[in-house]
């Protein structure tokens, strides 16, 4: 469901309700940063752990309005020190807020003031793009609704995104999630995207990084009910589209609320530890991390690692301290940060996935089901589990489950070629980012539309 070396995901004119008035637009700095060099720090008489270099300024942002320039060194924002490129996104400011930025330019420190500018909204000439908010617990989650311009009732689709705590709103038009959802809307469907708690423009909600999968499922269930209550939604044609980890969350919601249909892509019905074991075996050889012999030795250790984390619910430090081999493997393959995070999220989320039984959720769901496998998907790497998801549906409801292979297509819906070619491209992060801008495979949209349309026949 995710690449063990680096997680990549898939990073307006009106409102359908009053909630959008309560979620303010967050600041858009419009700065591309890079880590400061020792020579640049010394030339500007800055202490260690101070400042980042402004690589470039993006148009329409706060920095451009405040005349920040490329090669300036960003020192602080509203008295909050900026020591690494990770610090700027942590500054909480909203559109219209007063802002003071301290920089160093040509060896001289300057303070510039102004007002925060919000991020530009998504727009479309072909359909309506509506910014709204989903009530969740005592807070709100940012939602974007895309719908045909003509009045009337339309089938509605909720996107449930993958593992990471990455935004799905305010995306560039080349982003695979934008391509997917815009394509579905252009075909005549309402599509709802909603941020995970604590991601993007959310308010008074738990933090995505530290919550478990059941709390995340509750958030998407709230989004499903929000979609169901949209005035233009045809409640007899509600669909959930689950990608990656969303392919496990989607069936859990469907088992409770029984939508007309569920689509999943790049996922599995297996126990989490079962899937992870197979993922390590496939990817470590596919990416050339180790040879077959070393891979088998590593897998022997992973049997214990995954049991400790997923079954015994031990924390990551406890597992690492048990054996230096476990520590080195977690650092190499699981993006362990040396503390509590695996693949960018708390070990508590990681271990909670083990307790979600997707097979039982599928058996409790009575509607139609489409399972799509991209044959260049290095996160899923073979079709058996996804084909079996459709078989599980058909076991109880013959004819309700459909399995489709999308040729030459990877986890992010990109047309990359064979699985071997996909491994090579994914190993080069710069190349992969370039491919992401141009290689979206519209077949993913086409198969979804064809399947939904076939349900009425």
Any idea where the domains of the chain sit in the sequence? 26-115, 128-271+357-454, 272-353
| Answer CATH for 26-115 from 2.30.42.10, 2.40.33.10, 3.20.20.70, 3.10.290.10 | 2.30.42.10
Q: What is the mean pLDDT of residues 404-427?
A: 97
Is 101 a residue whose pLDDT tops 90? yes
pLDDT at 5: 39
Whether the CB-CB separation of 176 and 225 falls below 8 Å is answered with: no
Class of domain 128-271+357-454: alpha beta
pLDDT at 215: 97
pLDDT digits (tens, 9 = 90+) for 324-358: 999 999 999 999 999 999 999 999 999 999 999 99
Give the H or E element holding residue 273. helix 272-286
Asked whether the domain spanning 128-271+357-454 has the same topology as the one spanning 26-115, the reply is no
pLDDT at 457: 53
Tokens of 17: 């309700």
Predicted confidence band of residue 237 (pLDDT cuts 50, 70, 90): very high
User: End-to-end distance of the chain based on CA atoms, in angstroms?
Assistant: 33
pLDDT digits (tens, 9 = 90+) for 279-304: 999 999 999 999 999 999 999 999 99
Separation between Cα atoms, residue 411 and residue 11, nearest integer Å = 15
Predicted confidence band of residue 311 (pLDDT cuts 50, 70, 90): very high
Predicted confidence band of residue 10 (pLDDT cuts 50, 70, 90): very low
Q: Is 220 helix (H, G, I), strand (E, B) or coil?
A: helix
**Strand 401-406 vs strand 368-374: parallel, antiparallel, or unpaired?**
parallel
């Amino acid at each position: 469901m995710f690449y063990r070396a680096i997680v990549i995901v898939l990073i307006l004119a009106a409102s359908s309700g009053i909630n959008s008035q309560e979620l303010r637009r967050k600041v858009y700095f419009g700065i591309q940063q890079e880590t400061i060099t020792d020579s640049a720090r010394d030339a500007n008489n800055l202490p260690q752990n101070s400042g980042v270099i402004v690589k470039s300024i993006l148009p329409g942002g706060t920095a451009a309005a405040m005349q920040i320039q490329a090669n300036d060194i960003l020192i602080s924002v509203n008295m909050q020190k900026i020591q690494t490129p990770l610090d700027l996104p942590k500054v909480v400011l909203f559109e219209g807020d007063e802002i003071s930025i301290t920089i160093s330019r040509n060896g001289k420190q300057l303070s510039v003031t102004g007002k925060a500018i919000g991020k530009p909204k998504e727009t479309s000439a072909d359909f309506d793009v509506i910014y709204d908010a989903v009530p969740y617990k005592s807070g709100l989650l940012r939602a974007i609704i895309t719908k045909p311009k003509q009045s009337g009732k339309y089938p509605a689709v909720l996107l449930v995104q993958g593992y990471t705590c990455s935004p799905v709103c305010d995306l560039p038009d080349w982003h695979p999630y934008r391509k997917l959802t815009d394509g579905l809307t252009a075909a005549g469907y309402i599509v709802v995207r909603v941020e995970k708690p604590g991601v993007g423009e959310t308010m008074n909600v738990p933090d995505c990084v530290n919550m478990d999968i059941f709390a995340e499922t509750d958030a998407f269930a709230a989004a499903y009910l929000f979609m169901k209550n949209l005035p233009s939604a045809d409640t007899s044609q509600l669909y959930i589209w689950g990608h990656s980890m969303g392919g496990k969350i989607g069936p859990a919601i469907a088992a409770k609320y029984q939508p007309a249909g569920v689509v999943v892509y790049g996922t599995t019905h297996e126990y989490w530890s079962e899937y992870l074991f197979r993922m390590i075996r496939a990817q470590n050889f596919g990416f050339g991390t180790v040879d077959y012999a070393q891979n088998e030795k590593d897998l022997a250790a992973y049997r214990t690692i995954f049991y400790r984390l997923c079954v015994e619910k031990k924390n990551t430090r406890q597992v690492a301290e048990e054996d230096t081999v476990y520590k080195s493997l977690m650092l190499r393959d699981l993006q362990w940060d040396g503390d509590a995070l695996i693949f960018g999220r708390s070990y508590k989320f990681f271990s909670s996935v083990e307790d979600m039984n997707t097979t039982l959720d599928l058996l409790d769901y009575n509607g139609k089901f489409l399972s799509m496998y991209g044959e260049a998907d290095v996160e899923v790497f073979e079709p058996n589990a996804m084909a079996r998801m459709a078989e599980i549906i058909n076991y109880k409801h013959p004819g309700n489950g459909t399995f489709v292979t999308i040729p030459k297509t990877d986890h992010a819906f990109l047309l990359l070629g064979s699985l071997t070619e996909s491994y090579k491209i994914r190993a080069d992060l710069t190349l992969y980012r370039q491919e992401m801008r141009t290689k979206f495979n519209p077949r993913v949209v086409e198969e979804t539309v064809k399947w939904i349309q076939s349900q009425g026949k």
